[in-house]
Chains A and B, each alone.
Chain A
Amino acid sequence: MSYPTTIKGIQAGLKAGDFTAVELLEGIYERIAAVDGDVKAFLALNKEEALVEAKAADERGYGDDAPKLNGVPVGVKDNILTKGLTTTASSKMLENFVPTYDATVVRKLREAGAIIVGKLNMDEFAMGASSETSYFQTTHNPWDLNRVPGGSSSGSGAAVGSRQVPATLGSDTGGSIRNPAAFNGVVGMKPTYGAVSRLGAIAMASSLDQIGPLTITVEDNALLLEVLAGHDPMDSTSFTDDDLDTNYSAKLGQSLAGLKIAYPVEYKSDVIDPEIRAAIDQAAQYFEAQGAIVEEVSLPNTEHGVNAYYVIMAAESSVNLQRFDGIRYGYRSPNAKDLDDIYVMSRSEGFGDEVKRRIMLGTYSLSSESYDLYYKKAAQVRTLIREDFEKVLADYDLIMGPTTTTVAFEIGERSEDPIEMYMADLLTVPANLAGNPAMSVPAGLNSEGMPIGMQLIGRSLDEATLYQVADNFEKGHDFVDQAPNL
């Protein structure tokens, strides 16, 4: 039989007794066996444990007292620790690494009754926008197998886009949830920095990283974030529960009348593909027709975002990746003869080119001669970008624009040119630098049949308004019914 593809649909079916969690899970593994040979989203499946968990979910039942995601299958990006299940960050460095604990988000999923289906491919250590830096495999875009799925949460986007699983976890440092959400025609949320615990996320740039959900529908996304968000005493940057209102579904269904939406002139620039601009212009007209007020504003420091981001991200990454020394865990070169060999040879053989490039850039920008020139300067520009958002969001409820400048590009098209690849992040990095919540929601297909993503950026901790607007937009269109032909 065919099963519902959304969380809400699955929950209704489980509750009505149309199928069990075990049957659903078996159906999901059949779907993965049928399409993932082409898509290559999963690095590893968790069949044995997942079946045990599905049986347990069925035994708990689907009454009103059942946990919030009981029996719901979820895929997890492979930089998020899963106890006993190999977690590689798509790097040779961690090819055989088996975590001894669950990331807080994974623990919360399990406590909510969700079932971990498997681990998803990504760019190595989340460095890339295409999965091409993965040590293991390149994931293919389900809408056109010759194109990239975006990244770095490549498998997380492609697995939902190809309707293999209803939901996945990704991580977003400069757009790594929103970019693959846009390229695969799904919904992806980067929550406010500090809304979701980072404990157990393999760190890339600690002041920018956030974990978030990718789903087919907006309401599913809000539901999942309600499970993921919350204070964690093990992550000192996580907001306390006094600061957080995790009722992210609270505004779903409310009218958009009177909402003030800012559409920055910088998000309409010539670097953005004309078909994408047209789709976002149409979305603006749709919002006006719903009674919202859409006005042009300026975020004047947008153009400096990518540069500031790459300086800060590389600096923080170079420090975070110092822990990979070949001693306590991870790859150790079999040729190492002494201690310095262990460090140098293990790192040189264990890291891929893009990772090395960023370690080199970060080490350089933190060196005494260039610290003020690059790192401090970038941190000051970060302040200006944050202030741009604060000024606009003092007058407007949210900001709208495109998620990406182009639709998914061809595999191999940008992999030889790092700077061209960095430009994929142009529209997404500002929200990471500022810490604000930002999501990508499907905004139709272009003339080649490739998905276009609309980005909504909100006030700090105001994910609920983004979900309200995105849900209204989704229900006013038929984009959810569009799925790749696989």
Chain B
Amino acid sequence: MISRDKVQHIAHLAKLHLTDADLDHMEKEINDTIEMFEALQAVDTEGVEPTYYGNRKRNVMREDKPIDSGKKEALLANAPDAQDGYIRVPVILEKEDA
């Protein structure tokens, strides 16, 4: 069982803002799902290697060389805000008052 504060903290880590109404149902749904996951604890996995990948291919290496995609304009067109060939974002550091 995780608390409402904990749900709020997870949202903060995930860069999500939850309204009080969101929190009401999210708290319940997350706890219901975690309760469902509890059934996994009954499985004996002593000494079992975890599987993290979809197949057992080894690392695949290639030469690390830059290529020009030639798509600068098209890529910038997908940015929410762009100017002079750069992506624009709001001010990050406020100017300190002199």
Contacts and interface: CB of A to CB of B under 8 A. Distances in A.
Given A330-B80, A360-B14, A304 B90 contact: no
A16 interface: no
Interface stretch (A35-43, A212-220, A370-378): A370-378
A329 interface: yes
Contacts of A435: 54-55
A348 B17 contact: yes
Contact of A381 (B32, B33, B43, B91): B43
A338 B55 contact: no
Contacts of B49: 380, 383
A349 to B, nearest CB: 9
A158 B30 CA distance: 31
Interface in B60-83: 60, 62, 69, 71, 74-75, 77-81
Given A380-B50, A381-B40, A418 B81 contact: no
B52 A379 contact: yes
Contact of A419 (B11, B33, B57, B79): B33
Contacts of B53: 207, 237
Interface string B18-59: 100010001001101110110111010100111111110101
Contacts of A386: 51
Q: Which of B7, B17, B37: most chain A Cβ within 10 A?
A: B37
Q: Which of B14, B32, B75, B90: most chain A Cβ within 10 A?
A: B14
B98 interface: no
A338 to B, nearest CB: 6
Interface of A: 96-98, 100-101, 192-194, 206-208, 233, 236-237, 239, 301, 304, 307-308, 310-311, 318, 325-332, 336-345, 347-348, 351, 353, 356-357, 359-361, 363-365, 367, 373-374, 376-384, 386, 418-419, 422, 433, 435, 460
Interface of B: 2, 7, 10-11, 13-18, 22, 26, 29-30, 32-34, 36-37, 39-41, 43, 45, 48-55, 57, 59-60, 62, 69, 71, 74-75, 77-81, 87, 89-92
